[in-house]
Structure 1
Amino acid sequence: MLFSAALEQAEQFFRAAAAVGPETRALLVFYGLAQTGRALRAVAQEDSDWHRSGGHGLTVVGASIGDHLSQALVMDQKKGHFRDVAAALGRASVPEEQTVGSLSRLLSLGTRFALDSPEHAHMPLRLELTSPEQTKVGGSLRADLAVPAATWAMELPPIGKRLAKHYDAYRAHVREQLQQYPTLRDAELYDPTPEHFDLRGGGGTRWVGLAWPGRRHPGFEDSGAPLHEFSDDNGRSVLIYPRGAGADLAVHPYLLWWAVLFAMAHHIRYEPTKWAAMVDVDRSDEAVTIEHIGEYALKALPELIHRTLVRTEPE
């Protein structure tokens, strides 16, 4: 009963949000998303008493509230609904203060609508299943990770002057980068010529070959989601998320949306004058972005919520 009632309420919150403007939309979307968290917990925790205790589990640091949404600081309260949902998913909460701008950077909002914040050193990366014709039949699972050359590639000495220690240092550097992506930590580097380690490709994007010897590579006809245990996506090309600040677990887009929308809802409820200025295109350089976030949330969240509710997340 709790599962279906919470989802029905969430749907009605989203329908109501679609009918209003940026002045109140984020508040309705936030409450809709929070109710889907109750639905998720109803499945994960059958005890019917938990939903009567605890608060949202998030807070906006009062001293950080100013004229820009991007600078507001959000963190969890070490207990409560948000933290419990994060635990149910096996993903990072927000144990350290983070700006709304920083959290939003990990979402696929598009560069035109990014809130002001430095880009993270480690952003979500695309992992693609290696095509079956490039692997042995029944061999180990293999996939290729698209990475930014600026932080993952290393310059090697000229050919003829390269030594084993240079290749070893390159491998160690790539493994260190992989440690920032918790769901990939048990992956092995796949290198067809291990004595001459390098990343494939050129320009701004390079490719890291990964292998999991204990898992079988799917064939052409195999269905399912072979990369799902590393991501909340289901296909043969998925997004891999970095660990959360102050956490050893990967962030989750469902939780990132929750934290960003909570901060927006907080301003609507408790800082209406400041919020009115933030959404005024004549007074705020964030107004267009704020409106976009609200509109994009209504498009992106239903499918993300469905994936999160029906799929078992990586441990």
Structure 2
Amino acid sequence: MEQSEQLFTSAANAGYASRPLLLFYGISQAGRAIAAASVKAGEKEWDLAKHGITADVDGRYRRLANLGLHDTKGGGSFIGLASLLSSSTLGQGVPLGKIWCTIPELRPFPLESSNQPLHPFLGFSLQGPGERISDGEFRIYGWLDGVSKRFLRDDEERKVCEFISHYPTLTGAQEAGNQLRKVTQSFSEGECARISRVWVLKSPPENVQEWSQSLTTPYAGDERRYVFPALDGSDKPIHPLIAWWALLFSLSMLARYKPAKWTEFIDVDRSPDAASVEHALDCALHVCPELVHHTIRAVSSRRDP
């Protein structure tokens, strides 16, 4: 863990040209500390080797959002840590833009659009304590905050369901019916919309608030919790530390192996993404250590990481 802290400290004193290298190796070393602290990691999982992830820096992509990343065969640190955190990975390929929008701090600084469907992190809030219905079942209403504004124009249920299907923890969410407007302007997640859904349970949960937490993942502590998508189509949402890992890996590979292209991406006169990239590299300095410390506490005590 000491090496990780030293790398993050060095990154704070480095310029944007080299900062992603230090940040990635900082989070990579932290991954080994997390594995070592995990109560469920075996000896093989503790000794994380190889990256386990590939960035297609030699591929054809004009926009940073289109840079492809995928898992590598044979496992590695990325795959091993994702398994310990019960997280999805990247499967056979995910563009960087889809990873970017799952990170809460980066919502105000999106990458230039590439017209690909995005599934960002979502906020969740209860609409009351729930209610019993006549046949003994229990109904719970909730808001999903942070969905695309396009649903304000087109809230066709088929399209809403397709969007929600990318969020494994939202399985069972149904249309709220005529009692509530399905889609409204979001008040807590900026220029977005929010969707009303209902869950019909066979019996009331012991604690509705605790039940609602099963839909979300803590983000650097329980004070902030979000609903995250599965980017590989699996039944597990991506863990926020895994999303940051993939993002920093991709930027570090550009900085290391494609320095000319990387220099262009961080030049405000040549790239529309420069300000967003700089913001991400600034945020990573404090967000990633916070995520690491929270994750170590969680995996060492069997709590939800």
Same fold (TM over 0.5): yes
Contact 1:127 1:237 in 2 (8 A): no
Q: Deviations over 1:46-93 (max 9, x none)?
A: 444545563100112243266654332211103111011111122210
Partner of 2:3: 9
User: Structure 1 277/41 Cα, relative in aligned 2: closer, same or farther at 3 Å?
Assistant: same
- Residues 72-87 of structure 1 aligned to structure 2 (within 5 Å): 72-78=67-73, 79-87=75-83
Q: Deviations over 1:128-152 (max 9, x none)?
A: 13444x668xx77654333556438
User: Structure 1 23/142 Cα, relative in aligned 2: closer, same or farther at 3 Å?
Assistant: same
Contact 1:75 1:95 in 2 (8 A): yes
Which of the numbers 124, 129, 138 marks the counterpart of 2:126? 129
Contact 1:152 1:174 in 2 (8 A): no
User: Structure 1 131/265 Cα, relative in aligned 2: closer, same or farther at 3 Å?
Assistant: same
Partner of 2:261: 274
Higher-helix-fraction structure? 1
User: Structure 1 23/179 Cα, relative in aligned 2: closer, same or farther at 3 Å?
Assistant: same
User: Structure 1 215/61 Cα, relative in aligned 2: closer, same or farther at 3 Å?
Assistant: farther
Contact 1:181 1:242 in 2 (8 A): yes
Matched, 1:216 2:205: yes
Partner of 2:59: 64
Partner of 1:113: 109
Rounded to whole Å, the distance in 1 between the matches of 2:288 and 2:238 is 16
Rounded to whole Å, the distance in 2 between the matches of 1:104 and 1:173 is 23
Specify the SS of the correspondent of 2:92: coil
Partner of 2:189: none
Contact 1:71 1:100 in 2 (8 A): yes
Q: Deviations over 1:9-30 (max 9, x none)?
A: 2211111111111011111111
Q: Deviations over 1:78-110 (max 9, x none)?
A: 311101111112221011222223321222344
Contact 2:35 2:45 in 1 (8 A): no
Range with bigger deviation, 60-69 or 89-98: 60-69
TM-score by length of 2: 0.76
User: Structure 1 81/126 Cα, relative in aligned 2: closer, same or farther at 3 Å?
Assistant: same
Contact 1:231 1:240 in 2 (8 A): yes
User: Structure 1 289/135 Cα, relative in aligned 2: closer, same or farther at 3 Å?
Assistant: same
Rounded to whole Å, the distance in 2 between the matches of 1:271 and 1:102 is 22
Structure 1, gaps ≥5 residues long: 1-6, 156-168
Instruction: Select the structure of larger CA radius of gyration.
Output: 1
Rounded to whole Å, the distance in 2 between the matches of 1:54 and 1:235 is 31
Specify the SS of the correspondent of 2:70: strand
Partner of 1:145: 144
Structure 2, gaps ≥5 residues long: 133-137, 186-191
Rounded to whole Å, the distance in 2 between the matches of 1:55 and 1:304 is 22
Contact 1:227 1:235 in 2 (8 A): no
Rounded to whole Å, the distance in 2 between the matches of 1:40 and 1:119 is 33
Partner of 2:282: 295
Contact 1:227 1:236 in 2 (8 A): no
